[in-house]
Structure 1
Amino acid sequence: MPSAQSPRAVFAMDPVHLPLLFPPPLMDRLRQVAEIDPGLVVRDFADPAVTPALAEAEVLITGWGCPHLDADVLAAAPRLRTVLHAAGSVRALVGEALWQRGIRVSSAVAANALPVAEYTLAMILLAGKDAFGQRERYRRTRSHPASDETAALGNVGRRVGVIGASRVGRRLLELLRPFDFAVSLYDPYVDPAGAAALGAEPLGLEDLLRTSDIVSLHAPDIPETYRMLDRAGLALIRDGGWLINTSRGALVDPDALADELRSGRLNAVLDVTEPEPLPAGDPLYDLPNVFLTPHIAGSLGNELERLGRTVVEELEHLAAGRPPAHEVRRTDLARVA
């Protein structure tokens, strides 16, 4: 049972996520360090039924589906001092009113980075073997390829260009280390020594695009990265190259990308698009050189428990008088998703 000093907490998210984020053993652990009603999950802060709980809440445990924490919400939660977000980006969740109140924010974005990096690694390995193209060929011919048709395949020395040393980008670079790839990195915030420490060769964006067999996007969706891969940038990727996007569709000019893919010059793995989802009649659904998935790289299913565990660990830190391990500061939002 929580102690008399345990903070009062309230869930605020789409209730459908709660059982996966906090399965029974983890919920029991949470309730050891916080006073919380698992049956109360706020979707509408203006609902009179949640007013008493909100007035006493010291901690909000938020997730996908939580409304924006504006000034009216904060006025209804005078005791609130911490927001623990059991998901990734907090950009749409928090605003100036929260920072002015001095409320601390923590996010499970680091935990969410791991499945995205794992997905990306898998796609890089499959792209280097041309697994998607070979599947289409095998389906069509019902025969094995000749040796000369596979001479250019394989992952030894394959050049992988990573755009963005975000949390996902860094986890991906870590996962790439055991393989025989030649890895380069473009990130204006990382100096050559920092890139070397991450196991990558630092390159400018144009040089990375020009020299990579596989380009993987991991930059944040901020104004400075909007359409960072435009028509000219995409044209720099070598013929037969691969673009992997598990970040955001806004980073790529969709019309230019569609033209490159329809021409067959490039291949792509797209877990995100713009718009999302694509219209039902979009030709990208049917192109043999495009592998589309419905935004599944991030945490889903049993992976959500990892996000919930991050929140519980943060509560345990707070109970022990320690600061959050995954705190998000206002200055961070200028360069993170």
Structure 2
Amino acid sequence: MTSAPGSTTSPERASAAVGGAKGTVDFAMTMSPPELAAHLFGTGFEALRIDGARPLHTVPFTTFEHPDARRALERADVLITAWGAPRLSDADLDRAPRLRYLLYAGGQGAILLPESARERGIQVSNAGWLNAIPVAEFTVAMIVLANKRAFEANRMYRRRRARIDREIEFPRAGNRGKTVGVVGASRIGRIVIERLRGMDLNVQVYDPFLDAAEAARLGVTPLALDELMRSSDIVTLHPPLNTSTAGMITAELLALLPDGATLINTSRGAIIDQTALLDELRTGRIEAILDVTVPEVLPRDSELYTLPNVFLTPHISGSMGTEIRRLGEHVATELERIVLGQPLAFPEELP
């Protein structure tokens, strides 16, 4: 589980800090493709030019099998990683006696480490809270457009190529007074809730771990999942994917959605029973906005490409383009804290 922004490491972990005013922190980088580093940190990795921080190589490694990568790992105090980075094995960590920090420019860095990392005293920081921002922004934009019936209006306009009387064709369009159901009060779900707060919407949430006091603080109505599906104009999915959430949106739950409702998924495709979703979409009864699917790249003959009531995007809701630099700045800030001997601002609890 990731700690909230501003959390600090425990005193015993903090005492393991390297660097500070007394020495230099050496860091290695791994990600794929290597060109990603320029998007994260700028040309020549300018964001990482921190007094007291020294890069051990000039191009990020994509594997630890290369002799140069092994030599860098042997000397590294900090390993800077991003998506596409290889997992570290116990053997890799045996060859990295100085390694104390892994900084991940993404949602969860612990997946790159073996179980022994905790006992070895390795600390991890991730950029999950920052990566949640563009996902939430994308979601809110889709909610606004879906309530305005923008996707349906686009199809109608292209088909008719004539004036559309919006009051006749879309009498229930608009965001005023609509109900949005948020499944999962995760960090993304919470940002969505906060961004919707200034709009004239009724926001309700399903999350079995959200207590009444926290729901009141967020200004949302907690409901059982079946109630939320039955009473929402738009349902947006934000739970993590694990054994308890895989396939949680079943055929029975999809059937509860009101006619004309919109289902938004920016979480993971496996959250939904995709066969059941296809069956429901074929009826034309509901709309779907899908940024994620199963598999992640659909086969060329998938109906999701052609169904008119599906708005399909290739997993673009997360950080992309100019947004990636925000993640790099996060990593640079954490690296600077290490150099100064300060605890990580965004520590990730290791299993």
Q: TM-score range by the shorter chain?
A: over 0.9
Give the CA deviation at 1:295. Answer: 0.4
Structure 1 CA distance, aligned partners of 2:97 and 2:348? 21
Structure 1 unaligned spans of 5+: 332-337
Cα deviations by residue, 1:231-272 (Å, 9 ceiling, x for unpaired): 111111111110000000010001000111111111000000
Name the structure 1 match of 2:27. 9
Aligned partners of 1:250 and 1:273 also within 8 Å: yes
Q: Does 1:186 align with 2:219?
A: no
- Normalising by structure 1, what TM-score? 0.94
Is the 1:163–1:169 Cα contact (8 Å) retained in structure 2? yes
Amino acid at match of 1:8: D
Aligned mate of 2:40, from 5, 21, 24:
21
Task: Report if aligned partners of 1:231, 1:257 keep a CA contact under 8 Å in 2.
Answer: yes
Aligned to 2:343, what secondary structure does the other structure show? coil
Q: In the alignment, does 2:108 pair up with 1:108? A: no
Residues 269, 290 of structure 1: 8 Å contact kept: yes
The correspondence for 1:166, drawn from 156, 176, 186, is 186
State percent identity of aligned pairs: 46
Q: Deviations over 1:25-50 (max 9, x none)?
A: 86255433411145131211121122
Q: 1:38 to 1:52 in 2, by over 3 A?
A: closer
| 2:274 is the alignment partner of 1:254 | yes
Runs (4 or more) in structure 1 with deviation over 6 Å come to none
Q: Is the 8 A contact 2:260 2:286 kept in 1?
A: yes
Q: Is the 8 A contact 1:70 1:97 kept in 2?
A: no
How big is the shift at 1:6?
Answer: 2.6
What are the superposed Cα offsets for residues 288-337 of structure 1, whole Å, 9 maximum, x if unpaired? 11000000000011111000000111112222332111111025xxxxxx
Kindly indicate whether the alpha-carbon contact (under 8 Å) linking 1:69 and 1:98 is maintained by their aligned counterparts in 2.
no
Report the Cα distance in structure 2 between the residues aligned to 1:105 and 1:95, rounded to whole angstroms: 12
Residue in 2 that maps onto 1:67: 86
1:206 aligned onto 2:220 = no
2:104 to 65, 85, 88: 85
Residue of structure 1 equivalent to 2:195:
175
Quick check: 21-30 or 71-80, which moved more?
21-30
* Comparing 81-90 and 304-313, the one that deviates more: 81-90
1:302 aligns with 2:322: yes
Map of 1:334 onto structure 2: none
Q: Which residue matches 2:71? A: 52
Instruction: Find the counterpart in structure 1 of residue 51 from structure 2.
Output: 32
**1:274 maps to which of 284, 294, 301:** 294
Task: Please give the secondary structure, in 2, of the residue aligned with 1:160.
Answer: strand
Classify the secondary structure of the residue corresponding to 1:223. coil
Q: Which range moves more in the overlay, 37-46 or 159-168?
A: 37-46
Which structure has more relative contact order (CA 8 Å, sep 6+)? It is: 2
What is the count of residue pairs matched by the alignment?
330
Asked if the contact 1:87/1:109 (under 8 Å) is kept, the reply is: yes
Match of 1:155 in 2: 175
Residue 197 (structure 1) aligned with residue 230 (structure 2):
no
1:76 match: 95
SS of the residue aligned with 1:101?
coil
8 Å CA contact 1:33–1:315 kept in 2: the answer is no
Question: Is the Cα–Cα contact under 8 Å of residues 47 and 328 in structure 2 kept in the other structure?
Answer: no
Please point out which of 258, 264, 267 is paired with 2:284: 264
For the 8 Å contact 1:164–1:186, the answer to whether it is kept is yes
- Cα deviation for residue 91 of structure 1 reads 5.1
User: What do residues 192-244 of structure 1 show as CA deviations (whole Å, max 9, x unaligned)?
Assistant: 11012112111111111111100000000111101010111111111111000
User: Which runs of 5 or more residues in structure 2 are unaligned?
Assistant: 1-19
Q: 2:136 aligns with which of 101, 117, 132?
A: 117
Say which is worse superposed, 173-182 or 4-13, in terms of deviation: 4-13
Query: What TM-score comes out, normalization by structure 2 length?
Result: 0.90
8 Å CA contact 2:56, 2:72 repeated in 1: no
Counterpart residue type for residue 164 of structure 1:
G
Question: C-alpha distance in 2, partners of 1:184/1:95?
Answer: 39
- Pairs within 5 Å for 1:281-320: 281-320=301-340
My pick for the range that moved more, 260-269 or 321-330, is 321-330
Work out the CA distance in 2 between the residues paired with 1:330 and 1:54: 21
2:70 alignment partner, SS class: helix
